[in-house]
Amino acid sequence: MKNEITKVMFNEEQIADKVRELAKRIDDDYKEGTLLVVGVLKGASVFHSDLIRQIQRPVMIDFISASSYGMSSTSSGAVKIDKDLDYSIEGLDVLIVEDIIDTGLTLKYLLENMLARHPKSVEICTLLDKTARRKSDIDVKYVGFQILDEFIVGYGIDYAEKYRNLPFIGVPKNVD
């Protein structure tokens, strides 16, 4: 599998350093109250599990899974929830954890969906951000790395369900 990667973009150590840095910011920002850290399946599962273990304050966790309607690989903005949260988020501080934000249309939908449930607050934490491709005006409070418009895999992120278990983030061969 590793020989199908042309370039390592972030190695294990760089990712671990970034995860610790983000967790520190989160600890500094949420001094009290109940913090619910919501992972967006499946891509963010690896980042989510590393991030929560670097956060020192108590957290609750939950997961949500959403997908775009239609066959197009570029997101149209029409999103459906495939697996919803297990619990009510009313009155809670919610942190949505995402692997990568591209157009931002998926997250915009999720954000609006969450806000309709009357949480105390909602913020977004993404490991990777392709800012140049953003089509929605969402405010992302915690960003790990800004990257250019290059297709990447690993550390939970897939190409056709492959490469999620690579411990680093890299650019695969033969993807267009």
Residues 6+ apart with CB under 8 A from 69: 76, 78, 79, 80
Cβ(104)–Cβ(117) below 8 Å: no
How far apart, in whole angstroms, are the C-alpha atoms of residue 83 and residue 104?
19
Stretch that binds Mg ion, among 5-13, 24-32, 42-50, 144-152 (CB under 5 A): 42-50
Residues in 78-117 at the binding interface with Mg ion, rule: CB under 5 A: 99
Q: Work out whether 156 is an interface residue with Mg ion (CB under 5 A).
A: no
Cα Rg of the chain, angstroms: 16
Options 9, 15, 26, 43; binder of Mg ion; rule CB under 5 A: 43
Cis omega (within 30 of 0) for bond into 108: no
Which residue minimizes CB distance to Mg ion?
43
Q: Work out whether 157 is an interface residue with ligand IMP (CB under 6 A).
A: yes
Options 55, 152, 166, 169; binder of ligand IMP; rule CB under 6 A: 152
Residues 6+ apart with CB under 8 A from 6: 170, 171, 172, 173
Q: Work out whether 39 is an interface residue with Mg ion (CB under 5 A).
A: no
Q: In angstroms, what is the minimal distance from the CB of 116 to Mg ion?
A: 21
Report how many residues bind ligand IMP under the rule CB under 6 A: 15
Catalytic residue flag (residue 129): no
DSSP code of residue 84: -
3 state SS of 49? helix
Q: Work out whether 129 is an interface residue with ligand IMP (CB under 6 A).
A: no
Residues binding ligand IMP (CB under 6 A): 43, 75, 98-106, 151-153, 157
> Given the rule CB under 5 A, which residues bind Mg ion?
43, 99
- Active-site residue numbers? 102
